[in-house]
Structure 1
């Protein structure tokens, strides 16, 4: 049956032997049927997102590092602009993030962007201070990435900005992982990029000793209580299915182009041995990822494979419409920053050793003004988009507060 197909897929992704996993499923189903006397039904797909329900407009996105968070942020920024919403933006002295890596404070928010509907720039989670700013009915969302792939990206991206990484001879990831405590200092500037970065971003203690398994379990449970959805970067479209249903948005609200990607030359291949060492060093992040990756697939299984397949078709049809409108039906070609004609579309480059790719729009396509705006914004890097939003929202604030 389709349910067993999804269940088997979940078991594989949770790295559980198929026979054991299916046996657990059978026991669980039996218990449910006994408890509900045969009245149990699968979660319906008959009331899809956007099917007449009002769209949720209050969303707090905890943008983690090197996890496809920039792509999610861009989706939220565009939704806010189209719907006349307010995006919380950092004060100018904080840059384009909320004075990260400091714990978030309401004082970090630019006064012209209060009260907000959307939060999407980097911050370190601080529930009490966020509650001072965001609406009570805001839905909290974040995204995680497989720790080995994420740490490889962090190590490369912040090689010139993190003191821990700068100590490593030749910038060797292997050398660092062989003896991480030889190079790592918790008090260093930007040490948050060198160990359990997801945990740090989510407000946890990145330096808990590995023997403290109870802390990892308690912290994971805390994250689960706060966040309505934890997306998984490796399963981005499937995560968007759940996001769409959580927020009752249309598929066209969730179109995207992958942003902030490195050049192939900036990436390193990880051996299984190195990947294992990364997970051991970032052990709380690994615990978080494994838990929420499993949670994602349990939620998808509850929807049913037919429902998920239909939702994915809707999302991908919307993506095709975007590609047709903005890129003439072709996949957008990534370019190095120096080759991008429009300066507003050139992504920030962290160092000479790391190349971040961006996009140029084809100049030979005729588009209505609304499509031109969408096409420009869908490929716009975070720093430029943040500045544009702050300018437009400040103008609106001054207009609304004229005496």
Structure 2
């Protein structure tokens, strides 16, 4: 993009779309400037950001609303899908702790960070903070150092939450968000999904889930009982930084009060799309920023629905998780009400339309088992014995970064983000000479 175009402070007076021009009055140069869209194509994100600002400047002008169709015209002509995530508005520092549905939310956040050139706090080791493997609370020492003079904008990884250590990395105005899931469906899903990863579940896998929930103490021996031992009892409560073996009413109540004080938003997995709009509102983002594609859908099985008796047993065994979930399920609906029913319905329709557009343009109609994915850079993780389904790119979209980003696996995103931040660090050190 030409430097003089970048520097223009525009006060829009007229747009001549039929000629493919933006006619603008430059306050700096006091002259009418014609900006050809073709001049801006080399940097699509900068272009869309630029055009967004032009649209805002039109609010108090005489141009008719019907003339504001340049975004779709632009994205079509340059083979970029509608609604690219290329905006330059300010983002507060974010820290996201997710106890379920990690892939979807993390993909949304990391794509936003990538497109806005934000700095993400990354683990020094592989994909998880090392403390998580041993069930220890998060430590700021586990985060890869960021380039000098840069600050971390976002952390979005599984961890055992530690507010004191997190505050060493993020500013006081950081927004804290977490996600909870119904303990009944979460617990059964975890039992099968992590059957070969969590020691307690592995011991019970031959006997089955019903056997475990009917006689849990036979398999679970308490704190420290093997790898990922806390998955077997009040896993969400533990991830939030609390003692999952303490189920006294007073302790759970205090934990809930503490969570309310720390977390700005607690989302509910069962109401995923509603949660996306609440997230969008909290972060002052656009609806386009929270659009997603299914990341790692479990292949459908004929597993029967949980009956009332089994559900009750799960709730009783995971009492702390259950009380925590039910409390924040109630507060979630308070936030939905504050959002506004009519506004929510309207925005849900828009979000659905954007997601449908992505699916239509980016992906083949049928999802495929990840075991059949040949491109390793797009192959989703799944534990041994578990098959997940994922989207496959249309042939024409295999080099389209917008489409690829929607289904890029977590580890690949972390590698890509890490490489960019390492490059920034190298350039910063070189400039100091």
The TM-score bracket by the shorter chain reads 0.7 to 0.9
Alignment pair present for 1:361 and 2:397: no
Q: 1:117, 1:173 → 2: CA distance?
A: 41
RMSD over equivalenced CA pairs, Å: 2.2
**What is the correspondence of 1:2-401 to structure 2 with a 5 Å cutoff?**
54-64=89-99, 67-92=100-125, 95-99=126-130, 100=132, 101-112=135-146, 115-168=151-204, 170-185=206-221, 186-189=223-226, 190-209=228-247, 212-265=248-301, 269-327=305-363, 330=365, 333-352=366-385, 354-363=386-395, 365=396, 372-401=400-429
Aligned residues of 1:88 and 1:115 also touching (Cα < 8 A): no
Q: Cα 1:389–1:181, aligned 2, differ >3 Å: closer, same or farther?
A: same
The 10-residue stretch of structure 1 (141-150 or 213-222) with the greater mean CA deviation from structure 2: 213-222
Q: 2:333, 2:120 → 1: CA distance?
A: 31
| Secondary structure of 2:368's aligned partner | strand
Aligned residues of 1:53 and 1:248 also touching (Cα < 8 A): no
| Secondary structure of 2:170's aligned partner | coil
Aligned-pair distance for 1:273? 1.5
Q: 1:261, 1:221 → 2: CA distance?
A: 34
Aligned residues of 2:294 and 2:390 also touching (Cα < 8 A): no
Aligned-pair distance for 1:323? 2.3
Q: Cα 1:55–1:168, aligned 2, differ >3 Å: closer, same or farther?
A: same
Aligned-pair distance for 1:219? 0.7
Give the TM-score taking structure 1 as reference length: 0.79
Aligned-pair distance for 1:167? 2.0
| Secondary structure of 1:265's aligned partner | coil
Unpaired runs of 5+ in structure 1? 1-51
Aligned-pair distance for 1:345? 1.1
Aligned-pair distance for 1:359? 2.5
Aligned-pair distance for 1:261? 2.6
Whose Rg is larger? 2
Q: Cα 1:387–1:61, aligned 2, differ >3 Å: closer, same or farther?
A: same
| Secondary structure of 1:142's aligned partner | strand
Q: 1:321, 1:59 → 2: CA distance?
A: 28
Q: 1:381, 1:266 → 2: CA distance?
A: 27
Aligned-pair distance for 1:128? 0.4
Unpaired runs of 5+ in structure 2? 1-86
List per-residue Cα deviations over 1:172-223 (Å, max 9, x = no partner).
11111111111112212211111111101110111114xx112111111111
List per-residue Cα deviations over 1:311-335 (Å, max 9, x = no partner).
212322322332233137x5xx332
